[in-house]
Amino acid sequence: MNQQAADPRMILAGAARQEITPPLEAGLLMSSVEGRWAPFEGVRRPLYARALALEQPSPEPNRRARPVALVSLDLLALAGKALGGFKQFKRNIAAAAGDCIAPEDIIVACTHTHTAPESGAITALYLTSAFAHWRERLIHQIGRAVAEAAAAREPCHVRRGASSAPGLGIHRRVKTTRGIMMSHPAPPEDLVISRDGPVDDSVNVLALVNESALPIALVVNATCHPVYEMCLPWISPDYPGELCSALEDDRPGSLALFFNGAAGNINPKYVSAGPEAAREHAARLARAVDDALERSQRIASPAPALRRRSFTLPTRLPGGEDTGIVIPTEVTALRLGNAALAFLPGEPFVETGLALRSASPFDFTAVVGCAEETIGYVPTDEAFADGGYEIGFGSWSILSPGSEAILRRQAAQALSELASSPGSPPTTPRIPAPHGFRAAPASSGDAAPRPAAKSSSEDSE
């Protein structure tokens, strides 16, 4: 390893992607309440596994730090039940990658697109032969992406930046005289008491920039359900895939990874509006990414550090009674100097993400939902008291009140432990972005996506 690679201001990073598009028979979720899926009719856009391998450089040739891999998947969710056990799934990925990175050092997260295979075991799709065959290919392709990313590692510095994209996400739990109703389909106005509720407009960006001042990878974190194409019968990564493709087209040779936020109760204004709405959402996000990069700061000592915390959460019966049964889960936190990412399982509510970022000891914190093995919705206790779709009992919602507070405490503790561990640096002074680092501005306006086709289901979000 050359002396430049051992520079503590640099990190070894590589990125790669592999296609994971399923056969049409490995279909999409049509209704969670009814446990219903349907085959796809075609492919609008392929699905990808995008991997980023990171390693702290060492000045000693015979001594290496443990590498870490972040994997963004154009998928709905990952249920161990559908994957032959989640730990085995991760071991299989590591084996498919040639064991270049240990399974516990691979972090996977889904973008939560609803036009991917129903991989959350909400329906019986996972029992079909088409799903089983695709699952084996999925493991191979993720492993291949991880291996290629690891092989492509080169010295890079890391930049962090943040911007906002107001108006893309709305709080979807509408207070009405009949209780909590979803924003889609829109409840009658004469029933509405309030549409108020928190949202997260932040767009958080990390850039891995090589010695030629070219970004090899962008990590983008924003918060909104990808449901512009929900229940439409074409395979598609929805707006996250549109965003990644746009960012990659603007920066040849780079790879974009999208990590959704705590979007459990955040929707776009229009659901099942179609591909054009997804593209418009992505264009707005891409402009926010440009803005974040223009204002980005270089991380002085970006050596990666990983912390996992395992714990259990209580579950409930259909009537709300505690079962006395707990389910195991975990949170993962990754530190890159004075920046951190907190990876949460399932679909946490936006209140959880906002609280974690507000209390984080790091200058930059991205909260990621739909990470690792799904545990369904993680409603706040206030949401449990109010009721609504996410509280309705089913395979998508089995946790008991109190679960969100446990999850939030565990994630906060993981961040705190990383912040107090050796090597955590102080706040980084601003270092201007390289000339020309920002992409050319898009020509389209900032108008919100317009409605088109109406969803055939209101309960698969």
CB distance 278 to 320 below 8 Å: no
Domain ranges of the chain: 11-420
Mean pLDDT of the chain: 91
- Residue 438 clears pLDDT 70, i.e. is over it: no
Q: What is the pLDDT of residues 298-353, one digit of tens each?
A: 999 999 999 999 999 999 999 888 889 999 999 999 999 999 999 999 999 999 99
Place of tokens 């501005």: 441
Share of the chain above pLDDT 70, in %: 89
380-391 burial string, b = 16+ CB within 10 Å, else e? beebbeeebbbb
The C-alpha atoms of residue 97 and residue 280 are separated, in whole angstroms, by 36
Confidence grade of residue 97 (pLDDT, cut at 50, 70, 90):
very high
User: In sequence order, what are the residues at sequence separation of 6 or more whose Cβ sits closer than 8 angstroms to the Cβ of residue 59?
Assistant: 3, 6
Element holding 247 (H helix, E strand): helix 238-250
Q: Does 242 or 3 have the greater pLDDT score?
A: 242
Report pLDDT digits (tens) over 399-411.
999 999 999 999 9
Question: At residue 442, does pLDDT exceed 60?
Answer: no
Q: In the predicted model, what is the mean pLDDT of residues 215-232?
A: 98
* For residue 121, pLDDT beyond 50: yes
Tokens representing residue 56 in the block: 């702290």
User: Is the predicted pLDDT of residue 133 greater than 70, yes or no?
Assistant: yes
Return the axis-axis angle of helices 403-420 and 350-359, rounded to nearest 10°: 30
In tens, the pLDDT along 189-207 reads 999 999 999 999 999 999 9
What is the spatial distance between Cα 2 and Cα 220, in angstroms, rounded to a whole number?
A: 30
Question: In the predicted model, is pLDDT for residue 86 greater than 70?
Answer: yes
- Note the pLDDT of residue 110: 98
Q: Tell me: pLDDT of 241 over 50.
A: yes
Q: What is the pTM of this model?
A: 0.92
What per-residue confidence (pLDDT) applies to 425?
Answer: 55
Q: How confident is the model at residue 422 (pLDDT cuts 50, 70, 90)?
A: confident
Q: Binning pLDDT at 50, 70 and 90, where does residue 5 land? A: very low
Residue 141 has pLDDT above 60, yes or no: yes
Q: Using 50, 70 and 90 to split pLDDT, how confident is the model at 136? A: very high
Instruction: Scan for tokens 């249920």, then name that residue.
Output: 79
